[in-house]
Structure 1
Amino acid sequence: MAIGNYKPRAASARGLLGMAAILLALATNATAATTTKVTGFDAVRVLVEYGEYDNALALAESFANDEKGKALAAAFTQALILEQQGRLPEAAEALRAILSANPDARNVRRELAGVLLKQGAGGAALHHYELLANSTTNAQQRAVYERFAARSRTLRPWTLDGYISIAPSTNISEAPDADLVYVGGVPIQPETKQSGIGYGYELNGSYRFDLDEVSAITVGAGIDGTAYRDESFNTSFLDTFVDYRRDVGDWTFTGGLTGQYVMKGGDPYRTALGPAFSVRHNMGRRGVSTLRLLWRKLDYRNQDALDGSETMIGLSHLYGISSSSSIRFGGNLGYVDAENDTNSYIRYSLNAQYFREWSIGAISDIALMVDDREYQDITYLAGEKRSDQRIVASLGLTLRNLSVRGFAPRLEYAYTQNFSNIDVYDFSKNTFSTYLTKKF
């Protein structure tokens, strides 16, 4: 890699003595360095700062005793040199390449986060600082990472992200698997399953107004949905919110108003409006827990029997297993109070999701959700209260190494199975999605 011309700044006596002390201390412990991790980070950085590029490369390589370690040390030092020269996009690209091959290299992730922060890419920097903070066992390091994470959040007041996808599904009509079902003992021929290839889309944005260092008001909106050739299966959701957030030590309190407008088949279907609150507690190495409360008024355009309200309480926990993997799990308890109690139900759900960055430059996630809905009145014709249990399992893979101008491809498979004591609501479907995602 070409480094280019660079004139080192004049070294002060104190600076040179400090550099010598660092080098001496690291040289004493050089034998303890592992063979596949970048070591001597501070000493190499000092040499780079004084323009001693050849010495920096030699020192970095001296801490490794195999070719893989030497190549990693050299690549990391080259990235430091690019950063020192102010060539931040090139430095970020070089660090991403190293991290893709070595997702557990904490020094590389830390340096990449710093470069991204200098570039003004607060969202990307935040991702790495949170991974570092959630996975370290050192309280002082965690405090440093959390301060940088807080700075990353406030670096840019706006957010914008979205995706487009192609989503073939084996059962977009959610018709029963059986050719003949029984409702109240009466045989009924159900709707035929319909498969289809549609496209999905999502676009979200927000703007934050900082009131002071610990509080802000944020407004945002987003639209997402799926469209098919048969427009009767089209769905779209428009969500809006405004909230007030305040940080109090390790706690974050948020409260505001949310709204949603839903269309199905190109026609207005439902509106929802109500308050939402959340409490987030950062417990350091033990993870981050979030409690959410929601109430909203439901108004259906042409189905008055469904009008009513929805109340939900949810708890989730994010735990960082390492700097390259994490798990999120939680559950929700909800109640829909409809005008007609046949449509009222209590809902219980549990969910878990595991994330992992791999050395091939890909990010995988595995998710599982189980859901139980107990309806409150006897369903017409069936002669009994409806009870549904649903399982949704998905596997996703984001191919970060194949991104072009920040657009990263993603592959996802999801399987849905709904069990019901009323046969007409039994169904299963498979969905394969190919995404193109982007965060600005």
Structure 2
Amino acid sequence: MIRGFGLAAWLLVAVATPAAAEQTRIDNLSAVDLFALADRARAAGETDVAVTCYDALARDPDAQVRAEARFRKGMMFADAGRWREAATAFRALLDEQPKAPRVRLELARALAAMGDEGGARRQVRQAQAAGLPAEVAQSVGRFDRALRSRKRWGGTFELALAPDSNINRATQARVLDTIIAPLTLSDDARARSGTGAHLAGQAFARIGLGGDLALVPRLAGQANVYRDHAFDDLSGSALVGLEWLHGRERLSASAGRTRRWYGGRVYADTDTVTIDWLHGLGRTSQLVVTASASDARYARNDLQDGRLFDLGLSYERALSARGGFSAALSATRQTARDPGYATAAGGLTLTGWREAGHTTLFASAGIRRTEADAALFLFGARRQEWLTSARIGGTFRGLAVHGFAPYARLVVERNASTVKLYDYRRVATEFGITRAF
């Protein structure tokens, strides 16, 4: 019996007919009976009826009944190409049984079909870290192929309320010493707190060119908007690239332009060329190498105009079915017309994540060193600084509605600089929703 509904358990199930749909009361159904009813409805194309049955079974006290119901529901949606609903069902099952490798691989397949290749690969690595039975291990090649047969279009979206102690990442000092005379900063030039709306998203298309090669145009944007629009920070990017994917290797090259607006005015235009290489390292880890070259033009200060060269190296490893970690090294060289704005920087970021029930938790810590080529004229000191940061947060899938999952993040930053103009502290939070489509 489905004990979660008591001895007088009942369901109202809509049975569709060519003429109409009538409400039928079904009493005292066993789990076996309800599974059989769901299977018949699924075979007849009555998806809503099958979902009603599976949702009822997902509330049964027996964990195995709940798991089977969620798995069948996920497979039904996957067979229909309804990948978001499939991923939601598989994720709910894994929240209770994180060491179910077959389910994790099916979730990887759904994420790949949604265009979330990074999430799909992470699920595969976590499944392999937990250990795959021989009969399941043989299926991994099939999931690798699923990762290569990408969705033709997709993207991500998030919206958040973002209280911030320092929305302009500015110094708290009122007076700065200069080689000419003390400089008194206006209120707008000093650290300002505020609560804004944070919006970020991206969309892409994938156009097959034959074999393992594809053309991938991409649009991305983000905005931090405040009541005082003098601090609004918006950016938008348009890129197009070629992507080659074979086995565990992915090589992509892209080019495009990014425009940033600050306070309602154009701040900078940046033209960028990027090369990314992803290389699988065994069953549970991967290496990502990124290199880019950019030409930046600043609308408000052409002394900052110059080129940027970035190199990044990231290692990611799944430690178990529930979590893993990543380590990322980065190096940046920025040239400028005024050597006081030219800098060299390098940093290290460590991140860990863990699935705890219906929540995915993460924590990261980073450190970055920046040094300028020369002193800025007014300050007489060469810019040298350490930026340290820490982030913690979580995505709460148990509260998801129609695929939108709420999340919360906390960020703490401290930039200790020899030039007081760049010296700041910041604490920020985000409470929002996120979705992949």
1:347 partnered with 2:345: yes
CA contact (8 A) 1:109 1:128 kept: no
- Comparing 403-412 with 170-179, greater Cα deviation is found at 170-179
Given the superposition, is the C-alpha separation of residues 316 and 199 from structure 1 closer, same or farther in structure 2, using an over 3 Å criterion? same
Given the superposition, is the C-alpha separation of residues 218 and 261 from structure 1 closer, same or farther in structure 2, using an over 3 Å criterion? same
Unaligned runs of 5+ residues in structure 1 are 9-67
Matches of 2:405 and 2:233, distance apart in 1: 25
- Comparing 268-277 with 129-138, greater Cα deviation is found at 129-138
1:313 partnered with 2:311: yes
Counterpart position of 1:438? 435
Residues 97-155 of structure 1 deviation map (CA, whole Å, 9 limit, x = unaligned): 332223333343235556x48xx953469735642335526697667335314414524
Shift of 1:223: 1.0
1:419 partnered with 2:416: yes
Report which of the two has the higher share of helix.
1
Shift of 1:181: 4.8
Given the superposition, is the C-alpha separation of residues 307 and 129 from structure 1 closer, same or farther in structure 2, using an over 3 Å criterion? closer
1:233 partnered with 2:217: no
Matches within 5 A, 1:12-411: 71-80=62-71, 82=73, 95-113=90-108, 116=110, 121-123=113-115, 127-128=119-120, 130-133=122-125, 135-136=127-128, 144-178=139-173, 181-183=176-178, 188-190=183-185, 191-285=189-283, 287-359=285-357, 361-411=358-408
Shift of 1:231: 0.9
**TM-score using structure 2 length:** 0.77
Q: SS of the counterpart of 2:169?
A: coil
CA contact (8 A) 1:110 1:129 kept: no
Q: How many residues align?
A: 376
Matches of 1:143 and 1:235, distance apart in 2: 49
Shift of 1:323: 2.1
Matches of 1:257 and 1:127, distance apart in 2: 24
Matches of 1:80 and 1:217, distance apart in 2: 35
Q: Which amino acid aligns with 2:156?
A: D
Q: Which amino acid aligns with 2:304?
A: L
Matches of 2:420 and 2:78, distance apart in 1: 63
**TM-score using structure 1 length:** 0.77
Residues 21-67 of structure 1 deviation map (CA, whole Å, 9 limit, x = unaligned): xxxxxxxxxxxxxxxxxxxxxxxxxxxxxxxxxxxxxxxxxxxxxxx
Residues 347-379 of structure 1 deviation map (CA, whole Å, 9 limit, x = unaligned): 1111121111111x0111112221111000112
Matches of 1:378 and 1:7, distance apart in 2: 76
Matches of 1:86 and 1:167, distance apart in 2: 35
Q: Which amino acid aligns with 2:312?
A: G
CA contact (8 A) 1:312 1:334 kept: yes
Q: SS of the counterpart of 1:405?
A: coil
- Comparing 82-91 with 130-139, greater Cα deviation is found at 82-91
Unaligned runs of 5+ residues in structure 2 are 1-30, 42-59
Counterpart position of 2:3? none
Shift of 1:85: 7.1
Q: SS of the counterpart of 2:139?
A: helix
Shift of 1:286: 5.2
Given the superposition, is the C-alpha separation of residues 142 and 245 from structure 1 closer, same or farther in structure 2, using an over 3 Å criterion? farther
CA contact (8 A) 1:3 1:81 kept: no
